[in-house]
Chain A
């Protein structure tokens, strides 16, 4: 049976079902058992499964990542939760030098079924230390899987896949997605890691957009459709492993591609997508690839600059018009996502 669930409820349900199924699964991190429960995603776990299996920790990101590794090597299935992806950066040493290479370094004898969840901040004046995503740096390392579920359906299915995976998986969840709702089956299911998903078929332009940007891309596609432009929206879903085939196949058909990312462009995931196109379908491209993402600056706090910092549906529409050589549409009648109306402060 499917029901309408929010993204946060979908994550919560995946955790409850997997913790019920498998005693070796446990959840830890600052705030996981408190009354806010990581924006509701871990609510009720401590009450239901006890403080052995859902517990609070000191502030010690580097150590607690190594701790998760040690537990995982011995058959437990740890899920380490970070309220912000920015705090995960304190654990880059463990990830780059330990976690990602352990299986390789043990000639495959040791497995690392470790899951790390990290919330991409954004919004409401979070500023430059609570708004990063930087998933490209984790995708850069062989031995780590990195996924970016963008729908409640994928949030549940990919988290379950991550928990059952015998390799380390980093699940990055965009804060604005927590309020998105959609159809989610009640029973446990998996969504394979490493497969892109075509969210919307179209023939004129391919927009590759992960995580929150897929929501913006769909909005842009809906607006453009009214004006006769058919946009295909592909959610890569997974930074690593990266399904370039789905994207390349789409661009071979459309001949045009916009990559809309939740990150800085330079050396980012968007560059990887562009490289795949340059490698696999350079002659099919009717115009140069366009990349959209964070402005090349730390994220400012004040709203007007913060709004300019992030790419959005309007930027995608403008890029499409430029690519097609059409006149800018009058967008005054359109209502776009703004966190004024998606994500109301103060909090």
Chain B
């Protein structure tokens, strides 16, 4: 149990990371291409830009580790499950999805694969992750619980209460702060009366790791280090990871004309786009263009197929509405 060993073969790892990065990116590209058809009636908080974090962290986790996330979790969900059938069925709200469309884009949940659910009430899944870690330790499971959240979540009191609790109780929690500098359209400078979240958290009884890289392998290695620290020190780890949100807060479009941020900033981050970067790395590592194209074509087909199945599937019938309120 615990987490999977790092593949000895660096190339193999990099191929795996690329496969997941490409899947997450293309799944969302395909949402963008089809959203205007008005069949995916669920507000989309897109992952584009954060794929390296999602894929890097998730790829280290073992099968029994648990993830708690937010309304912005397409990439995390796909990195964990690689199940585009279920993903698209849920986006289209169809009966064939595990949740039969009751959750939608904001509320994916697949506990059997350790994706324990999300919250669209900012920061409210963080304490739940702490409680899950408590259960894991109490039951003698050597597992890690990961809480993904944004920089906006750090504004909330419940974030600090949860961090304190986890540090106090020395719980195996990996806090992953995905910092895009924005809460909707509000920059950090208008929300946070301190200079560095990492500096403050480092005063707690936990380890803090920071990274600005968009290289999924760098995030992967950092996550391995984090999990080793959690296990060795019996303390939580707080990872502060920066990325740039490519699209509007909610919706599938760019919004650089809205005035609160500049396209120039985007262009700079685009230079180190996580998917391109990984692709270039593979080419540099001796993977041929044909081999990469083969992976890509396979994923493109997979997505196309999932999308078609989702479109063709039926909706759940009315009886489903009140089913499952209690266990």
Contacts and interface: CB of A to CB of B under 8 A. Distances in A.
Interface of A: 30-31, 34-36, 56-60, 62-63, 86-87, 89-90, 124-130, 295-298, 300-305, 308-309, 344-347
Given A128-B107, A129-B106, A345-B38, A309 B321 contact: yes
5 contacts: A125-B93, A130-B120, A301-B106, A302-B94, A346-B38
Contacts of A298: 102, 325
B157 interface: yes
Contacts of B107: 127-129, 301
Interface stretch (B52-60, B178-186, B198-206, B296-304): B178-186
B260 A124 contact: no
A35 B121 CA distance: 22
Contact of A30 (B35, B106, B183, B321): B183
Nearest to A128: B107
A302 B157 contact: no
Nearest to B122: A59
A59 B123 contact: yes
Interface in B265-299: none
B318 interface: yes
Nearest to B255: A35
B164 interface: no
Contacts of B94: 302
B131 interface: no
Contacts of A346: 35-36, 38, 40-41, 44, 251-252
**Taking chain B's interface residues, is the majority helix, strand, or loop, or is none over half, making it mixed?**
loop
Contacts of B250: 347
A297 B321 contact: yes
Interface in B31-50: 35-36, 38, 40-44
Given A34-B185, A346-B252, A60 B156 contact: yes
A127 B103 contact: yes
A126 B42 CA distance: 7
Interface of B: 35-36, 38, 40-44, 93-94, 100-107, 119-123, 152-153, 155-157, 183-186, 190-192, 250-252, 258-260, 315-316, 318, 320-322, 325
B315 to A, nearest CB: 5
B197 to A, nearest CB: 12
B185 A304 contact: no
A56 B190 CA distance: 7
A90 B121 contact: yes
Contact of A58 (B40, B155, B315): B155
Contacts of B318: 304-305, 308
Given A30-B186, A60-B155, A308-B318, A297 B325 contact: yes
Nearest to B152: A59
A301 B102 contact: yes
A90 B124 CA distance: 10
B107 to A, nearest CB: 6
Contacts of B322: 295-297
4 interchain residue pairs of minimum CB distance: A302-B101, A302-B93, A301-B104, A125-B42
Q: Which of A30, A125, A297 has the most CB of B within 10 A?
A: A125
Nearest to B93: A302
Nearest to B251: A347
Contact of B101 (A89, A300, A347): A300
Contacts of B183: 30, 58-59
